[in-house]
Amino acid sequence: MSDNVKRRDFLGYSFAAVAAVGGAASLVAMKQTWDPLPSVLAAGFTEVDLANAKPGTPSTVTWRGKPIFILKKTEAMEQSGRDLVIGSDRFTIAIGLCTHLGCIPAWKETMWKCACHGGEFNASGVNTFGPPPRPLDIPPFSVKGTVIVLGEEGPEYKQMAQA
């Protein structure tokens, strides 16, 4: 009798071990099925020429499906460690998605205002009001003359990311 129980327990435990290994392996497969596809990850690098930017009026370009704000600052706008300096011009470059929940803030004269939950960001992309927990994120970029390449991590980006 007790021998039988031990045998049945042994069978039970062996099955549990096999099922656990299989279950864990299939979870890995299921998790990775939901990961972004290689084609999505490889999706390109975007070049933007800053030479024709108008001071005080931001423009928006698309990079990896996200809006990127590019603002050439006017003299009146405060300077920030987040500025990209090219020659004598200062630029704000930021991912145009509110750091709260990802709506696109709209430019209102001197700042970006988010319609979803009322967050505000100044001309440097720094959060000044409402629920956003941090300034607008800076996309990775590198500088080639007056052209920036979004997606590449250049020295200017690394410096700004630390600021």
Rule CB under 8 A: which residues touch other proteins? 31, 34-37, 40, 60, 62, 64-67, 99-106, 114-118, 130-133
Question: Nearer Cβ to other proteins, position 83 or 135?
Answer: 135
Q: What is the DSSP string of the chain?
A: -HHHHHHHHHHHHHHHHHHHHHHHHHHHHHHHHTSPPHHHHH---EEEE-TTPPBT--EEEEETTEEEEEEEPPTTSPP-TTPEEETTEEEEEEE-S-TTT----EEETTEEE-TTT--EE-TTS-EEESS--SPPPPPPEEEETTEEEETS--HHHHHHHH-
CB of 114 to other proteins, least distance (A): 8
Please say which residue, 133 or 145, places its beta carbon nearer to other proteins: 133
Q: How near is the Cβ of 140 to other proteins at its closest, in Å?
A: 12
Least distance to other proteins, CB of residue 131, Å: 4
30 or 76: CB nearest other proteins:
30
